[in-house]
Structure 1
Amino acid sequence: MSENNSLERMLGVLNVFDEAHPEWTPEELQERLGYSRPTLYRYLKTLKETGLIVSVREAAYTLGPKVVEMDFLLRKADPLVVEGQPFLEDLAGRHPGTAFLSRWYRDRVLCVVSVRTSDEAVSSYPRGRPMPVGRGATSHGILAFLPRRQMIPLIDSRMDTFREIGFGADRDAVMARFRAIRRDGYVTARGEVTPGVVGTGAPVFDSSAAPVASLCLTMAERHADAIGLAKLGREVAETAARISERLSSRRLLDAAE
């Protein structure tokens, strides 16, 4: 077995930890991953020594303190957090709600930083908890702006969700909705993730053609309706564009160095 393949298999152990299954016994891991017992225990030993996992009750394993340490460093270094934080504070300071940035990660949408100025629209998806792909302004603010080759498989695999939220009965209908979102530059979703909450989202880019994240502002319906959905949409889109400019400039500067 090559060194790269062995590393991928060891990292595969970390990939099975999620919200539904935060603890695993060696027996469960062996059944899930199909690794031999000696190989699995070698991986567990290495991961434990680095602090990426720890043993807990009844010989089970969970993620370890190294993950917490890495998260602290990530908050200090992630350009999306560093550049986006002031814009979130400004946006949430002008409107009672929660402003947050969510990164497009593999096939997931993950909140990386947020600012809240109201307890009426508390997000159920804080930093680190994957959001539902295909539902809500956060997700649509990314999906609608993806290249076609990436967009179509995501639509096809989530058609039940799109039908449920009224996006249409087939792929063509969903793509028509996404074209309308691209024309507007933002998307509004009412109660798709949390009842009584309106989300307004827009894509965030760096110097690449596809979005790397989305900016979203969630508010209680009564506040959003009082301000006006179109006005909120324009503000969110303008703020997302300003963050995109900062990210693009930073990336080009790093490349020049």
Structure 2
Amino acid sequence: MTTTAVNSLERLQAVLEVFTEDRLEWTPEEMMEALGYSRPTLYRYLKILKAAGLLTSMPNTGFTLGPKIVELDYLLRKSDALMNSGAPFLENLVSQYSCTALLVRWYGEKILCVDSRSSVKNPISSYPRGRPMPLSRGAIGRSIMAFLPKRHLVPLIKKTMADMKAVGLGDTPEEVQESLKRVRKAGFAVAYGEVTPGVVGIAAPVFDAGRSPIASICCTISGSLVDGTTIDAIGQQVRQAGGELSTALASRRHQHTP
């Protein structure tokens, strides 16, 4: 692919990335101001994205995400190895505890819930499927960061140091690294009300045939239902689930390797 083609693809992608939870609809004028594109360039991209079903608009209204997103999500649910292999582990957790169990994938510098189950009548969750979570707060992000290579971990710590300090992980990058070493040794992370007030998160990493984590499996449960012994028991179970799921993903990958 030529440099020009790569640049065009990145600029096209940037149009999709302006859509966030805070801004679900954009007019062309607002996009031009946000992206700095000329009118002809923007309209060319909008035409391409609308024809592909990735964007849609009604007369005299702004653009929103289109139906192709829903179609892709349907295909993702059917094809994602993490979701397909992880579902039984989620079911097992919610069958034993009054909790919500989640599978959270890590990509770039984001973590995103891709699947969940709940045995709670009115589950409390600040981050349902599809809503990005903060990497620097909560057990899920910690369970992933603790297993990252140092060359990847240190820049992330420095970038999110304010949050790390706020939740008591340490006042310096070195202190945070020591806290994460303890998580790594335990094999799972625990956080008390850092993401959702009153909820304890217990999470362990998931690997895909490599040494770096790709996801986390997590049990979130009301703090009123657990004590230290129960949290440790859930932690051991979550760690085992993460290990078995990692093995299943690695086996699946080897089966598809020529």
TM-score range, shorter chain: over 0.9
Asked if 1:154 corresponds to 2:156, the answer is yes
Letter in 2 for 1:69: E
Answer yes or no: is the 8 Å Cα contact 1:121–1:219 preserved in 2.
no
Q: Distance in 2 between matches of 1:231 and 1:113?
A: 23
The CA deviation at 1:153 is 1.2
Displacement of 1:213 after TM fit?
0.2
Deviation at 1:7, TM superposition (A): 1.8
- Give ranges in structure 2 of 5+ residues lacking alignment: none
Q: Which residue of 2 aligns with 1:228?
A: 230
Find the aligned partners of 2:148 and 2:226 in 1 and give their Cα distance. 27
1:121–1:197 Cα contact (<8 Å) kept: no
Residue in structure 1 matched with residue 93 of structure 2 by the alignment: 91
Does the Cα contact within 8 Å between 1:83 and 1:246 map onto a contact in 2? Answer: yes
CA deviation vs aligned residue, 1:171-213 (integer Å, no higher than 9, x gap): 0111000000000000110111111110000000010111000
1:56 to partner: Cα distance: 4.1
In structure 2, the partner of 1:239 is 241
Task: Select the residue among 204, 207, 221 that pairs with 1:205.
Answer: 207
**Contact 2:124–2:196 at 8 Å: present in 1 too?**
no
**Whole-angstrom CA distance in 2 between matches of 1:37 and 1:67:** 25
Residue type at the aligned position of 1:34: G
- Structure 2 distance, partners of 1:224, 1:114, is 20
Aligned pairs, number = 256
DSSP-derived class of the 2:105 partner? strand
Match of 1:3, as an amino acid? A
Instruction: Compute the displacement of 1:13 (Å).
Output: 0.6
1:75-224 aligned within 5 A: 75-119=77-121, 121-224=123-226
Q: Deviations over 1:26-45 (max 9, x none)?
A: 11111111111101000001
Contact 1:54 1:63 in 2 (8 A): yes
Q: Indicate the residue corresponding to 1:253 in structure 2.
A: 255
- Segment of structure 1 superposing worse, 16-25 or 171-180: 16-25
Gaps (5+ residues) in structure 1?
Answer: none
Counterpart of 1:197, as a letter, is V
Check 1:25–1:201 CA distance in 2 against 1; reply closer, same or farther (3 A cut): same
**CA distance 1:133–1:58, change in 2 (3 Å):** farther
Residue 202 of structure 1 contacts residue 214 of structure 1 at CA under 8 Å; is this kept in 2? yes
TM-score of the superposition, structure 1-length normalised? 0.96
SS at match of 2:227: helix
Shift of 1:58: 4.1
Alignment partners' CA distance in 1, 2:32 and 2:56: 17
TM-score by length of 2: 0.96
Q: Is contact 2:100–2:117 with CA below 8 Å preserved after alignment?
A: yes
Aligned partner of 2:103: which letter?
L
> 1:110 aligns to what SS in structure 2?
strand
Q: 1:94 to 1:226 in 2, by over 3 A?
A: farther
CA distance in 1, matches of 2:61, 2:234: 51
